[in-house]
Structure 1
Amino acid sequence: MKGVILAGGTGSRLMPLTAYMNKHLLPVGPYPMIHYAISKLREAGITEILLIINAQSAQMYAEYLGSGEQFGVEITYRIQEQAGGIAHAAALAEPFVRGDKFVLLLGDNLFEDSIAAEASRFAKGHESARVFLKEVDDPRRFGVPLFDEHGRIIRIEEKPLDPKSNYCVIGLYFYDASMFEIIRKIQPSARGELEITDVNNAYAGMGRLGYSVLSGWWIDAGTHASLREAAQKLEGEYLEAGDTNGEDRKADGAEE
């Protein structure tokens, strides 16, 4: 499998921190936010990674990540010229994916669980799409899955006033290359963007959408409060692992 990380966007909810720096380069605990996305994919054995970024931050990404060699991965960069939604950004990965299965990860989604076992099963199996869910206190803020009597997802509702479950869909997805054909068929939403929920609902409508549930913590680090929470959790984890200054481990799982 290959990895695609979306790390563009304006980060408007994190202003003024993001006035001059992309949010995925902001420090979270001992490392920049983007470090953790790279580490999660590397831990899962995914070493070919496409990073989709905006032009304003390209130099800073290159300076920190370079080719990815020091992290044990190979990084390719692609510029998203204008915002058009998650599915629009994901469509830019088609030449990179070249028919393979891939992980699509939003760079501001930080989580505890390893995805290694799930990635291995998906790579070897016949599924076309898989989303990851997390039980939350207030699902009305997120995309919420609706299940049938057999526990299968039949639809995902965006920010419903009356959620039918306490689960939300997080910014972590597995797809095969059929995803790009689906993107070509969906229409922009009312806000003028190609929505990833529409892609997932297309798979759900065909009975081809699997799911996994995270057991550990998950944070969408897109606000000041969630950024602080993520920093506390990750700093605690790295201290427990004996990494007190960021020098003991260049990257989780990186080869020396």
Structure 2
Amino acid sequence: MKGILLAGGSGTRMYPLTKSVSKQILPVYDKPMIYYPLSVLMLAGIREILIISTPRDVDLFKELLGDGSKLGMCFEYAVQKYPNGLAEAFIIGEEFIGDSPVSLVLGDNIFYGSNWSDVLKDAASLTNGGVIFGCYVNDPRAYGVVEVNEQKNAISIEEKPENPKSSYAIPGLYFFDNKVVKIAKSVKPSARGEVEITSIIKEYMRRDELKVELPGRGLAWLDTGTHESLLKASNFVEAIQKRQGLYIACIEEIAFRSGYITKQQLIELAQPLLKTEYGKYLVEVSHSINNAHVTM
């Protein structure tokens, strides 16, 4: 499976912070925001990733992440000229996707939970259909909402409904088979002029090829679309890391524990960062005995 990380958008809701820089470059505690969704794809076992951003910002991500080879990964880049909708990512990425299934993650999503990597790898193993997630939230009106039956099958999908039929919001993480490219091309723009991801999900549901995973209370999902939610996400990450001593979304650690890079390569990645707690943590990881535990 291949992965697409969509880090575009104009970020107007977070002005003036995002007036001259991408929202996904902003810090969530001690890392750029893009590290968090990138770590999700890595934990799913996906090593080939297309990063889509705006004409203004794409070079920032190239400078930050490079071609991925230092992490044992392969990163490619593409431009979304205008915010034409999430589903356009599959059209932009058609050549990159090729004949593979694909996962799409949005650049402002943060996930944290036990056994999360196992859940992701299971979703990434699909060969037919699609997998979405339903995360229980207090007020789902700001999100796409999925209604499920007792068998946890989707029975309705609504985009930002005034009167939600359930409390399960659809986070910005999707897994689809290769048919998604053709489906995306057939989607007509919505009233707001965007190619909606909801339309793709509904088509898989119509074909009875949609699986819904409900992670339950064991998963924390944080959106970082406002100043307040960005601050809350930073505080959450700080609290977890300080209490546990384990880092969330440390992409170098994930690469090492996944066997993508060696101990020596990890130490080399840590060298420019040794004046920071992040760099010191990488050195600690390189000396750890148990190489099986992967954290977010």
TM-score strictly above 0.5:
yes
Mean Cα deviation higher: 121-130 or 91-100: 121-130
Partner of 2:99: 99
Paired with 1:150 and 1:250, the residues of 2 have a C-alpha distance of 35
Paired with 1:71 and 1:229, the residues of 2 have a C-alpha distance of 29
What secondary structure does 2:236 align onto?
A: helix
Q: Is the 8 A contact 2:22 2:57 kept in 1?
A: yes
What secondary structure does 2:83 align onto?
A: coil
Paired with 1:26 and 1:58, the residues of 2 have a C-alpha distance of 14
What secondary structure does 2:8 align onto?
A: coil
Higher relative contact order (CA 8 A, sep 6+): 1
Change (3 A) 1:149 1:110: closer
Deviation at 1:192, TM superposition (A): 0.7
Deviation at 1:44, TM superposition (A): 2.3
Q: Is the 8 A contact 2:135 2:214 kept in 1?
A: yes
Mean Cα deviation higher: 81-90 or 3-12: 81-90
- 1:79 and 2:79 equivalent? yes
Deviation at 1:40, TM superposition (A): 2.0
Partner of 1:199: 200
Paired with 2:100 and 2:81, the residues of 1 have a C-alpha distance of 25
1:9-20 correspondence runs (5 A): 9-20=9-20
Q: Is the 8 A contact 1:109 1:220 kept in 2?
A: yes
Deviation at 1:107, TM superposition (A): 0.8
Deviation at 1:13, TM superposition (A): 0.9
Partner of 1:137: 138
Partner of 1:234: 237
What secondary structure does 2:34 align onto?
A: helix
Deviation at 1:21, TM superposition (A): 0.6
Change (3 A) 1:35 1:149: closer
What secondary structure does 1:56 align onto?
A: coil
Deviation at 1:252, TM superposition (A): 3.7
1:1-256 correspondence runs (5 A): 1-113=1-113, 115-148=116-149, 150-214=151-215, 215-242=218-245, 251-255=252-256, 256=266
Gap runs ≥5 in structure 2: 257-265, 267-296
Deviation at 1:37, TM superposition (A): 1.6
Q: Is the 8 A contact 1:127 1:210 kept in 2?
A: no
What secondary structure does 2:75 align onto?
A: strand
Deviation at 1:238, TM superposition (A): 2.8
1:7 maps to a residue whose letter is: A
2:98 maps to a residue whose letter is: R
TM-score (normalised: structure 2): 0.80
Deviation at 1:169, TM superposition (A): 0.7
Cα distance per residue 1:89-114 (max 9 Å; x no partner): 23211111111112110010111136
Paired with 2:228 and 2:29, the residues of 1 have a C-alpha distance of 14
TM-score (normalised: structure 1): 0.91
Deviation at 1:201, TM superposition (A): 0.6
Q: Is the 8 A contact 1:154 1:207 kept in 2?
A: no
Deviation at 1:243, TM superposition (A): 6.6
Cα distance per residue 1:211-244 (max 9 Å; x no partner): 1123321111010011001111112233345379
Cα distance per residue 1:46-91 (max 9 Å; x no partner): 1111100111012211111111233332110011122210011232
Paired with 2:240 and 2:196, the residues of 1 have a C-alpha distance of 34
Paired with 1:139 and 1:41, the residues of 2 have a C-alpha distance of 25
Paired with 2:198 and 2:82, the residues of 1 have a C-alpha distance of 20
2:238 maps to a residue whose letter is: E
What secondary structure does 1:229 align onto?
A: helix
Q: Is the 8 A contact 1:26 1:33 kept in 2?
A: yes
Change (3 A) 1:250 1:140: closer
Please tell me whether Structure 1 or Structure 2 has the larger radius of gyration of its CA atoms: 2
Q: Is the 8 A contact 1:154 1:205 kept in 2?
A: no
2:193 maps to a residue whose letter is: G
Amino-acid identity (%): 37
Mean Cα deviation higher: 110-119 or 126-135: 110-119
Paired with 1:109 and 1:230, the residues of 2 have a C-alpha distance of 10
Paired with 1:20 and 1:120, the residues of 2 have a C-alpha distance of 36
Q: Is the 8 A contact 1:24 1:108 kept in 2?
A: yes
Paired with 1:13 and 1:42, the residues of 2 have a C-alpha distance of 29
What secondary structure does 1:145 align onto?
A: strand
